[in-house]
Each structure stands twice: as C-alpha cells, then as structure tokens.
Structure 1
C-alpha cells in the first residue's frame, strides 16, 4: 500500500488478503468500537423523512446549532462532507492567498501534506516525535517553537491536538500560548480526538477562538459515523464566509445534517460515559 493510502478501505484490504470484506477486522482506523450511539442512529432514521427535499446549501441549521453551543456567530462555522473535504479546501485557499509554505507537525495524518502538495504548496515536515513521560506542557511548547524557528511569517502550520498517533495533547491555555508566541502564522489545529480529552472547556480552543487559528472537528472518531461524512471548521467570520463560498452547494447531505444537529444538541450523558469507558481500557 502507498504510504499516503488511508485505512478503512476494506475492499482493497480484502483484495490484498484474498478474503471477503466482512471477514476482516480493521485496526487501521481509530473509531469508537461500540459504534454510533442510539440517539444518533435515531436521528439518521428520522432523516429519511427529508430525503425528497434538498438540504440547506451550506448546512445552515448546523451552523446555527454550533453557534448556540459555542456562543460564537454562526458565520464562524463551515461544514463539509467530512473533515477531509475541508482539509483540501484549506490547502487550495492557502495557495491562492500566497501562503509561503505549509509546516506539518509530524507524526500526522497524511492528508495534510497530500492536500497541500496537490495544491502546489511547499510542505515542510517537522518531526516532533512522541511526548515522553515526564515532559511538561512547557517542554512541548519549547520543542514546537524550536521546530518552527525557520518557518517564515504567513506560513500555515498543521497540528493535531490531541495528536494521532502520538497522543500528545496541549490543554487550551497552553495551546493558546503557542499560537500567541507565533501570531504571524496561521495555525490549523485538528481537534478530531478532542472529545476524548474532555469537555470542550478543557479540551478545545473553540470557546476562545484565537484570530490566527482554524479549528477542525469531526464526527468520525468519537461518534463512530465515518460513513456519514460530516466535519466542520471554525475560524474568524470573514475568513469562514470567504472559504464557505468555495464549497459547492449541498455538500452536506440530509443524513449528515441530521447527524450534526443531533450531536451538537445532545444533552445526554453519552460523552461522559464514552470518556469513562475509554479511560478504563
């Protein structure tokens, strides 16, 4: 398999193994093993009532739901057909905006570099390694800033927080200090696994949304619906409005829209129970 190839491609893996797709256990993806929660399954079933009508052009209902959750203007949110679509959108608009290069903090999701390469951006791979026992947040901040010393102003930096597969995590206060130390950079923070680190107030930058940040969120991992394809990004209003205009209408289908609203409006104890279950493993 090519190094940039994704996990989750059961047809290809089955062909390589000479087995039926349903006979394989796929350990190449990090998705909640219990599958999607019941409240989300019900929302997807109810969405069947809406498949005869076009969904809202840019998932406006989800934008409003996110605005209520985070106390931000709805225009700060951009929803797409999975975070992967938004990663490629970002790479294209960064190139158009004249960003000098994209720095990827490794180890990282291969799609960051792949998308930037396809867009014609120079990619710099900066190896941060795996956070060692005993390393403090301050140690990690120093290491990251040292890695970025030669990255020019106006560059974009891709950083997963929490990191996958490293597991490195900077709490919001420390992450904000990192962004403030290099305000000349555009920081793209992938929070795909943030829900596992705790509620948003202790795991996410969204409630404080720095001006030089683009935050990515996904329903794939914590809510186990990679097949639905739903992700969103959060950034400053003018930037989000401009980038949202680069997406085709109806990129978020009726099922993905229903899933987004169900997750954002969920008041059950699902998230707390899932974190507890994960911590006991």
Structure 2
C-alpha cells in the first residue's frame, strides 16, 4: 500500500501541531462545493443505522446508483470504495499481462503487485501536454489481457473523448478495459459520456460517489460490468463491505436524482469560472499549468525548484497540495492542486507565484 496519497491532513496536522480542521486540503480531488445539500442532514437523522449490520451485499446502495446512472442493477457491484475493486481485479479476472495507461493513480500498479504481477506502462508525456495518442496506444495493446485506464485521468486531468475510447474497446474485444470514471462527473462536455452504458462485454467501469458528492470518508464505490465479469469479483468480496451510513448516503442520492443532477451542473459552472481565473493567475508564473477537464490541475515547476520544497512551504501555511513525484512517469518537478473556494484559490495561487519567483512585483 502506498503512503503518498493526497488528503493526509492528519499527518500534516500532527507535524504542525495543529488540529486537522485547520488544514486546507487542496491535495484531494473533492468537489469544492462540498456535499450534496441535504445529505449531511439526512445522515444525522439516520445515525442509529450504525446499531445494526448493513446489508451484506450493499443492495440498497446498488439500487441508488442504478437510479442515479440509469443502469440495470444486475450490472452493478458495490464495494468499500473503488479501491476494493482495483486490488481484487488481477485475481478476479485472472490477469496475466497488464498495461497501465499513465502517468496515473499508483494503486492500479500496487493492486497488480499485490498479486505478484508486474504491470507494464504506456505513458503520455509532457511533450504532448500529457494528451494520450490513441493510435500509439493501439499499437501497444498486442499481448495484453487487461488495461487500466483512468478517464479523465488523475493527475493530468486529460480526457479521452467517449467515441475514441468506445472505438478502442470495440477493436480489442479480447482485452479487458478497466476504466476508472471516478472523476467523470466533473466533465461538463458531451465528450464526458460514461462507458457504463456501452454494453461491451470487455469493459469494466469503476464509478465513485466520493469525489463529485464530497463524501470520501464514507467509502462507497461501484463496479459496472457484464454480470459474468461481476461474478469473478464476487468471489473476492467480503460481506458488509459498504457500511450502513455509506449505504444510506447512496440511497439518498438515488432518491434525489434531480437534485444530484442540478448539483453536478452547478459544479460544472463553478469549475469553469475558477479554473479560468487560476489559469489567468498562473500566466504570471514560470510554471506550466496543463489543461484539465476536472477540478484539479497538474503543474510543472521551473527547475531547480522541486515539489517537496513547494509542498512543505505551503504546508507550513496550512495549505496541503499534492506532491506528484510518486506517480510513475512524473518526477520531482510536478505538483497538483484541486480547486477550493475563491479566496483559497487566490491565496494559494499567490503563494505559488512567490515560490516560483515569477518576475512580477511578488518576486
């Protein structure tokens, strides 16, 4: 298990001698608008659910996500976050040769290694702005039985358009494509259509309520796939994987689809405005801000400045950002920040300008 995830506010608070609540976390890619209105109040009204065991198979949560996404329940499996499926995948699918499209989330590789399988990597590069070349990927797929692909990708924020991805999966029916759509709800364009409805037997979709609905602590994630493929995963699922409050939260989402849809639309509007402001502010700096379809942005620092120095400097001000040096395909020159409220975004942009020596009157 890697220790370099974002969102470790407890360790930083301990180092600084402050309360976790005093840390502003821009290292974890959670909706800056917070949780869906009414959700926390609903959970408070149902706290007594912790006195009894949850449903062993998370059936109510499955029903909620089926209503939210318009997908048949028999195509959905519930787990304690998408992480549970990532770490079970190699065993459940009997993987022999795995390709990971990156630079991307490190748990895909860790999940392979847990089962004694060393994955290969197909890497987009800074030279192309980390935009994936589908034709080059196609030329690489021969001999692989499984591909992990995050869309839109973490940490680069890049999206493979739906039609291009659908075409790729159709052309390689013998390859299982595990497509992580944890950040897809942040995408406003039509190109952000999910693959859960594609009907292809070789596509497995990881879908999360954690990011878009601001509830990562509840640990609820879903696998969407052909029921035959889901049976392979059921062999590795423990009962009661989704706790009572997580199931109650997803039930609430499924019962309030219109409100959830409107919340996502408000999120899109907010991200468009704040993302544009961040790009404008960063034009003053000697760093590269890569385009993103999501709530977070990958940045390349000017040499010789390194991510650890920048992250530590901001942490001392009680702002936590992501050091990207443990993403395979990146190095110590990359950071990632997630958008927050307008005041926080402006303050952190100011600190970054100071740190990189922009040449403006801040330098």
TM-score band, normalised by shorter chain: 0.7 to 0.9
Residue correspondence of structure 1 range 1-281 to structure 2 within 5 A: 5-17=4-16, 19-94=18-93, 97=94, 99-129=95-125, 132=128, 140-146=133-139, 148-149=140-141, 151-153=142-144, 155-198=145-188, 202-265=192-255, 266-268=257-259, 269-281=262-274
Q: CA 1:64–1:20 in 2, change beyond 3 Å: closer, same or farther? A: closer
Corresponding residue SS for 2:100: strand
CA apart distance, 1:132: 4.5
After TM superposition, the structure 1 stretch with the greater mean CA deviation from structure 2, 113-122 or 60-69, is 60-69
Quickly say closer, same or farther: Cα 1:52–1:14, change in 2 above 3 A. closer
Give 3-state SS (helix, strand or coil) of 1:51's partner: helix
Q: Distance in 2 between matches of 1:81 and 1:199?
A: 29
Query: What is the Cα deviation at residue 204 of structure 1?
Result: 0.5
Could you give the per-residue CA deviations for residues 150-205 of structure 1, whole angstroms, max 9, x where no partner exists? x414x211100011111211232221101112222110000011001148994201
Deviations 1:65-121 (A, max 9, x none): 333444543221111111112211213323xx2x22221111111111111111111
For 1:234 and 1:189, the matched residues in 2 are separated by: 10
Report if aligned partners of 1:201, 1:207 keep a CA contact under 8 Å in 2.
Answer: no
2:297 aligns with none
Task: Check the 8 A contact 1:105/1:158 in 2, yes or no.
Answer: yes
* Structure ID, larger Rg: 2
Relative to structure 1, the CA distance from residue 131 to residue 263 in structure 2 (aligned partners, 3 Å threshold; closer, same or farther) is: farther
For structure 2, the 5+ residue unaligned runs are 275-363
More deviation, 60-69/189-198: 60-69
SS at match of 2:38: helix
Q: How big is the alpha-carbon RMSD for the aligned residues of Structure 1 and Structure 2?
A: 2.5
Does the CA contact (< 8 Å) of 1:75 and 1:241 recur in 2? no
Aligned residue for 2:66, secondary structure, equals helix
SS at match of 2:121: strand
C-alpha offsets along residues 20-42 of structure 1, whole Å, 9 cap, x if unaligned? 43332222211112321223223
TM-score by length of 2: 0.68
